[in-house]
Amino acid sequence: MANRATAIATAPQLAMRSPDVVMRLRRMGASFPTRLSFLRTLIRRLASSGATVRRPVWSMDDNGFGDAVYTLRLGGHDYSLVAFSCPLPDEQRSDRVIAEAWDTSFVLYDGIPDKAEIERLRENAPRQEAGRFGPRDLVLSRANKSVRFFEHVVDSLARGRQPERDRLGEVGYLLRTTAVYGNGKFGIADRCVLAEREGLTGPFQAEMLTVWLIREFSHDLVEHVARRRSPETFVPLAPELRRHIGVGNSTGLGMAPFLANHPQLLNNWVFARETALARVRAKRYLDAAALDRLGDLWRQAGRHLDQWSVEDDSLMARILGLRGEWAEAQAWIDPARLRAVSSPVASLLERSQFMSVDFQELLAALVIEMAGAENDDLTDGMAAVRETTLQPGMRLPALRRLLRDHYGWALTIAFDRPAETAQFWYVSEEKLEPRLGRRAAEAGADLELPLDIARQVQRLAADLEDEAETQTVAAFLARFPQHRHAVRRIQMAAIAPYSEIRDNLLSDRCLPINMLRCKLAFFGASKFDPRSDRWTRITLFQGAPTRDEIAAGETDDCWLPVLR
Amino acid sequence: MTTILLSYNEVQTLARKAACGAGLPHGVAEDVGQAAVWLSARGIDAVGVVIDALGSQAEVLGDQSAIDALCCGETAEIAFEGRSCSLMLIGLAGAVAANTAMNLTLRYDGGVEPLALAANPAELAASALSLRLHSPPDGGMPMPRRSPRPAATDAAAYAAALGLAARTYVPASELSRAQGAGAGTTDND
């Protein structure tokens, strides 16, 4: 990856955006999904492999409580979603990680489970974190119903009607996942097992497959309950409405430190996206088909923005602003105008610098979408086999140079100001999940997580000042082992320019929602719906092909869904 | 002996957290986690090794520094004599060898074994003499192989590691509960 990254970055025709621009929290918090997002990669793989989904088990009572199994074959392996649906009192329905019961629970299973295996999973999956899992269990998840919308769809279909389009557009999902666990959690299979599986090698592909199958389950479940309620008048979901029903997700603080804890992986994701953007920017001209595509996508994005409304005042104000900017800039994409300029994409991106960050990031995602499959090769480099290793033989002048070149942003932060250390990250004893505390008001700052990257770098820089020029990193760390973490990160920056969030994560200005949106956009999420500055709801796979449509590949709505 | 079957991720995370809880710097604890994965992939109860090793943090720090020095040629050899936990040193070196493709080699009473090929480090540790760095063989180092699942973990060591890890957790308070993500909202919509 490193050599490939360096080779691409140094190619003269590619002008990459600077990490000082890209890796700021505010901009990360304006991220949109792109064609390189993980769920898009999965859809293309499912389509190209001719995957077909079977449902060998469907054992549900009239109220939709029971078991189901969905299976498909991918890359020479069978995978099964084992689903359990249980009654849940309203007072127990919570999206918070401290919940202990859910409407539905799921395991993505390696193979096709027999009765004994289904029974084992029935004992454990509904208990989630309190259960215990094994190497054939690949992903663990759970979801709650969007209660009112689920009932509305049941009632509508049972009466022979389709659900109201406005309500469907407003909610967009029947089930909302509150955790999707992979990589060895609670005993499930390690990521290294999947890393060698054709079709699931990219980041979070097994998790995305799980969610896509949960979406199928949600469609089947709502139709099942409606049919049992009134078999004579029942009608199935219309295909275009079914396609617009994705899977919701609630994500909180637990996800936020992931980006800081996986710098190589973060770099690979951002590097792929920025490389795609740079390739498109470098186009000298756009042919008629590309200009048409640009116009279509512009209109689609505009309609998507019109259908995206949230309760959060801050984001809603941004969406309203973005709608206005998008409409005002419509003239930019006039084909005659774009044909008249050289490097039309670069021209568009340069003009966008005078618009909001939200506009800039939406436009960046749009031009990547316009380029279509020509950037799909970049998804191969988005996984990380391992995080980087220390280079003990590096001399201190080289380390100082890296620090100066890549961490200038960190050296300017005034940590003597209380506002710059107002928050601290820690792990809660109650649920073993990351939390964010106020230093002045809460206990526990002495146990804070090492997400204070900028502060660590400043301390390292201070200890490096008086050290001998000829010294190696090995000798320095023998005396200052507390700097090992920071040194490793700094050495990585030379080959992974987008590995670091270039903001102070302790500052009172640090909003975890920005980290969440960045990560979720790489997943392929849309309709970000923040409920505070530390958790958000999103929608996955809205507009994506269903199992009956998957052979045809991506739909026009895979990027930014629009209810037509 | 009661054992528990963990995933590699659980072994790595628990070892790292235990090392942090014992007081080792985060960057060193990350390496202890990597070492635990390497050892557990070769039939060793790595959590047990980590718990033993954390009894002497100075030795773990010394092991890590010695391996750094060996890898950059500042020392020619690391002797095992006088060490209380040879397996921790082997694990730390094994992880470096696996992650960097360096040819770190174990000299023991009876022969020499590249760590990249070491299938039974526990046996080697009993008669280990020194670690050395050699040039990689023509054709490069072989890809490290590991078993599909880690070796079983002794329940007592597991409990001890959980206890050390728990030193890094912050107890909940009314304030933290009230300000947690999603607090105070209804999800019956």
- What tens digit of pLDDT does each residue of B58-116 get? 999 999 999 999 999 999 999 999 888 999 999 999 999 999 989 999 999 889 999 98
Residue A384 has pLDDT above 80, yes or no: no
> Which residues have a Cβ under 8 Å from the Cβ of A436 and sit 6 or more positions away?
A253, A256, A423, A424, A425, A426, A512, A534
Question: Is A136 touching B (CB cutoff 8 A)?
Answer: no
What mean pLDDT comes out for the span A194-198? 88
pLDDT at A386: 74
List CB contacts (< 8 A) between A537 and chain B.
none
> Which residues have a Cβ under 8 Å from the Cβ of A65 and sit 6 or more positions away?
A85, A86, A87
List CB contacts (< 8 A) between A472 and chain B.
72, 74
The tens digit of pLDDT for each residue in A21-73 reads 999 999 999 999 999 999 999 999 999 999 999 999 999 999 999 999 999 99
List CB contacts (< 8 A) between A450 and chain B.
26
Residue B146 has pLDDT above 80, yes or no: no
Residues 168-187 in B contacting A (C-alpha not used; CB under 8 Å): 168-173, 175-177, 179-183, 185, 187
A66 against B189, higher pLDDT: A66
Does the distance separating the beta carbons of B181 and A93 come in below 8 Å?
A: no
> Which residues have a Cβ under 8 Å from the Cβ of A468 and sit 6 or more positions away?
A396
Does the distance separating the beta carbons of A437 and B9 come in below 8 Å?
A: no
List CB contacts (< 8 A) between B71 and chain A.
392-393, 474
Task: Establish if B82 belongs to a structural domain.
Answer: yes
Task: Establish if B92 belongs to a structural domain.
Answer: yes
pLDDT at B185: 62
B179 against B158, higher pLDDT: B158
Beta bridge partners of A141: A106, A180
- CA distance to partner chain A, nearest, from residue B160 (Å): 16
A564 against A544, higher pLDDT: A544
Question: Is A158 touching B (CB cutoff 8 A)?
Answer: no
Residues 377-416 in A contacting B (C-alpha not used; CB under 8 Å): 386, 389-390, 392-393
Question: Is B59 touching A (CB cutoff 8 A)?
Answer: no
Q: CB–CB of B84/B59 below 8 Å?
A: yes
As separate numbers, helices (DSSP H) first and strands (DSSP E) second, chain A gives 23, 11
- CA distance to partner chain A, nearest, from residue B58 (Å): 11
pLDDT at A7: 47
Question: Is A439 touching B (CB cutoff 8 A)?
Answer: no
Residue A106: DSSP 8-state = E
- Give the range of the structural domain holding residue B85, as residue numbers without chain letter: 3-179
> Which residues have a Cβ under 8 Å from the Cβ of B152 and sit 6 or more positions away?
B3, B4, B5, B45
Going A106 to A107 to A112 to A113, the CA torsion angle's sign is: negative
| The pair of three-digit structure tokens given for residue A422, joined into one six-digit string | 């107002």
Question: What order of strands is seen across the sheet that includes strand A434-438?
Answer: A434-438, A423-428, B169-170
pLDDT at B186: 62
The tens digit of pLDDT for each residue in A261-303 reads 999 999 999 999 999 999 999 999 999 999 999 999 999 999 9
Domain tally for chain B? Answer: 1
Report residue A13's pLDDT band, with 50, 70 and 90 as the boundaries: low
pLDDT at B147: 83
pLDDT at A95: 80
The tens digit of pLDDT for each residue in A70-119 reads 999 999 999 999 999 999 998 888 887 778 899 999 999 999 999 999 99
pLDDT at A2: 43
What mean pLDDT comes out for the span A429-434? 86
Task: Establish if B184 belongs to a structural domain.
Answer: no
Does the distance separating the beta carbons of A427 and B182 come in below 8 Å?
A: no
What mean pLDDT comes out for the span A521-542? 94
Question: Is A196 touching B (CB cutoff 8 A)?
Answer: no
List CB contacts (< 8 A) between A486 and chain B.
27
Q: What is the ipTM of this complex?
A: 0.94
Report residue B183's pLDDT band, with 50, 70 and 90 as the boundaries: low
Residue A332 has pLDDT above 70, yes or no: yes
A&B contacts, CB < 8 Å = 156
Task: Establish if B51 belongs to a structural domain.
Answer: yes
Residue A475 has pLDDT above 60, yes or no: yes
Does the distance separating the beta carbons of B31 and A442 come in below 8 Å?
A: no
Residues 478-497 in A contacting B (C-alpha not used; CB under 8 Å): 478, 481-488
Task: Establish if B188 belongs to a structural domain.
Answer: no
Report the residue of chain B nearest A478, measured CA to CA. Answer: B65
What is the percent of chain A where pLDDT is above 90?
A: 88
Does the distance separating the beta carbons of A430 and B172 come in below 8 Å?
A: yes
B11 against A93, higher pLDDT: B11
Task: Establish if B50 belongs to a structural domain.
Answer: yes
Output the CA torsion A461→A462→A468→A471 (10° steps): -40
B152 against B189, higher pLDDT: B152
- CA distance to partner chain A, nearest, from residue B85 (Å): 19
A61 against A253, higher pLDDT: A61
